[in-house]
Structure 1
Amino acid sequence: MTLDQFRASLAADAPPALPPPLSALWWAGRGAEGWARAHALVQDEPGAEAAWIHAHLHRAEGDLGNAGYWYRRAGRPAAAGDLAAERDAIAAALLAPR
């Protein structure tokens, strides 16, 4: 899946088949209505990818202290600026071929 395909999928009623971190990011892209679903998907998910999305979610809700904790767990600097741009950057990183 490309970043453009991921963005386009946000118009659907449900996410496509994605690993939990990307599915959480999809729900985060739905705004406030998807926050709880996104958080539930990454809350107990191990790994730096889930921690990065967890950080993004807490930044989106305005809980910068909690976001900072999760950015550290992800091994990432705390983000600032536009949330949609950060979400795109995370999606691009997770969708990139490895």
Structure 2
Amino acid sequence: MRALWWLRKGGLRMGPEWEEAHAICQTAEGTPAYDRVHALAHWIEGDRFNSDYWYRRSGTERVSEDPAHEWAAQVADLEGNRGVT
């Protein structure tokens, strides 16, 4: 949830907030929730290939072609599974 917060704070764009979110994701690589947010971060970065890799690692798929909708879906999923954050 912290990484998602940073992505939103940065307006779902590259910048220092994106860097903070990315660093958080890297602290728990291999954890599906972190890997899914990592996928979103790379999508925002414009690296669709790397984003797809992280979605595969997370065992999930992109639920929207709009990063803002994807962000909202991830928040909703994580709020429903508080134990994974």
* 2:9 paired with 1:25: no
Quick check: which one's helix share is greater? 2
Match of 2:20 in 1: 37
Amino-acid identity (%) = 39
Offset at residue 79 of structure 1 (A): 4.9
Kindly tell me the number of residue pairs found equivalent between the two proteins.
77
TM-score scaled by length of structure 1: 0.71
Q: Separation in 1 of the partners of 2:77 and 2:60?
A: 12
TM-score scaled by length of structure 2: 0.81
Unaligned ranges ≥5, structure 2: none
Aligned structure 1 segments of 4 or more residues deviating by more than 4 angstroms: none
C-alpha RMSD over aligned residues: 1.6
Match of 1:56 in 2: 40
For the pair shown, which has the larger CA radius of gyration, 1 or 2? 1
Unaligned ranges ≥5, structure 1: 1-21
